[in-house]
């Protein structure tokens, strides 16, 4: 069940250039699932719309959530200045999340690029309850050697890195890292920029591997009312009666074969 509330900032730090790592205290953490997101409302009302930010991690006691975000504009720049004890207005938890049970007993590959990396952390932690940790491979792509969340991800699976400049791991993108390390899998979970997701969709179809992808698109209302974030699908949407789906409510996670990207 989603609800709007004022949460409290527990801590915040800059994890990499313009990348911020924030913990917030909220009872929404108790029911949050991997792959879901929050809408966060700036105090500056001139920004009008909330900012959707993926849930990165849930604290073990179920009382706090972690978000990792990039400064992309006025709203996220405001968030980066929040201090411990500050109130932060949120709506959540939103979206369908990753289907964790699909990985039961399987060899899985988690793939993330850029700011699509954070939601893989809670996913990897949760997958440890349905498959052996040796079956969890995590492949992430960064621009350079600023590998935020690297140490966190290494705790929950075998980590492989790609960087655009070749400073860490494979040179190139996540698909280069998969090829360089000869990785195979029975199931893929992915989150990241659209070019990366298109490549993963093609790869999964060529190999006959089921893939679940979390689509990163600009969202306006976050609750499915405005139709500002739609993706073409094979199925007819019950809301609009055409072949599309609303990423904010029907997603953000979809079976790769069901969407046209």
Three-state secondary structure call for residue 57: strand
For residue 226, the model assigns a pLDDT of: 67
Sign for the CA dihedral angle at 166, 169, 173, 179 comes to: positive
For residue 218, the model assigns a pLDDT of: 61
Under a CB-based contact definition with an 8 Å cutoff, are residues 191 and 216 in contact?
yes
Please, where in the chain does CATH 2.40.30.10 lie? 3-94
Predicted model pTM: 0.94
Give CA–CA dist 193/214, Å, rounded.
10
For residue 17, the model assigns a pLDDT of: 97
Under a CB-based contact definition with an 8 Å cutoff, are residues 89 and 48 in contact?
no
For 217-261, the fitting CATH number among 3.40.50.970, 3.30.830.10, 2.60.40.10, 2.10.240.10 is 2.10.240.10
Please, where in the chain does CATH 2.10.240.10 lie? 217-261
Going from the C-alpha of 250 to that of each of 22, 94, 162, 255, the distances in angstroms are: 27, 10, 31, 11
Give CA–CA dist 82/61, Å, rounded.
23
Task: Write the DSSP assignment of 138-201 as a string of letters.
Answer: EEEEESSS--TTHHHHHTSSEEEEEETTSSSSEES-HHHHHHHTT---SEEEEEE-HHHHHHHH
Topology adopted by domain 3-94: Elongation Factor Tu (Ef-tu); domain 3 (2.40.30)
For residue 248, the model assigns a pLDDT of: 79
Give the CA dihedral 117, 119, 123, 126, nearest 10 degrees.
Answer: 130
Please, where in the chain does CATH 3.40.50.80 lie? 100-211
For 100-211, the fitting CATH number among 3.30.365.10, 3.40.50.80, 3.30.420.40, 3.40.50.1390 is 3.40.50.80
The series of mean pLDDT values per 10 residues for the chain, 261 residues long, is 92 98 97 95 86 96 97 95 98 95 97 97 96 96 98 98 98 98 97 95 97 81 70 71 78 91 83
b/e code 82-101 from CB counts within 10 Å (16+ = b): beeeeebebbbbbbbbbbbe
Under a CB-based contact definition with an 8 Å cutoff, are residues 83 and 162 in contact?
no
Under a CB-based contact definition with an 8 Å cutoff, are residues 55 and 66 in contact?
yes
Going from the C-alpha of 94 to that of each of 29, 126, 163, the distances in angstroms are: 12, 18, 31
């Amino acid at each position: 069940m989603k609800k709007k509330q004022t949460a409290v900032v527990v801590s915040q730090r800059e994890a990499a250039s313009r990348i911020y790592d924030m913990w917030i205290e909220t009872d929404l953490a108790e029911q949050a699932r991997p792959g879901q997101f929050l809408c966060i409302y700036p105090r500056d009302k001139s920004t009008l719309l909330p900012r959707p930010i993926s849930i990165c991690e849930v604290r073990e006691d179920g009382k706090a959530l972690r978000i990792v975000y990039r400064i992309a504009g006025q709203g996220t720049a405001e968030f980066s200045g929040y201090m411990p004890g500050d109130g932060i207005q949120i709506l959540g938890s939103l979206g369908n999340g990753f289907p964790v049970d699909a990985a039961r007993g399987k060899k899985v590959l988690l793939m993330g690029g850029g700011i699509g990396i954070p939601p893989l952390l809670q996913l990897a932690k949760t997958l440890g309850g349905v498959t052996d940790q040796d079956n969890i491979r995590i492949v992430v792509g960064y621009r350079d050697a600023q590998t935020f969340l690297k140490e966190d991800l290494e705790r929950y699976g075998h980590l492989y890195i790609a960087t655009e400049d070749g400073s860490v791991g494979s040179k190139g993108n996540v698909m280069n890292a998969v090829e360089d390390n000869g990785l195979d899998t029975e199931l893929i979970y992915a989150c990241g920029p659209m070019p990366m997701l298109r490549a993963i969709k093609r790869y999964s179809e060529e190999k006959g591997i089921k893939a679940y992808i979390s689509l990163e698109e600009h969202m306006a209302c976050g609750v499915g009312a405005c139709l500002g974030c739609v993706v073409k699908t094979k199925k007819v949407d019950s809301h609009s009666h055409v072949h599309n789906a609303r990423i904010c409510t029907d997603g953000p996670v979809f079976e790769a074969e069901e969407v046209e990207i």
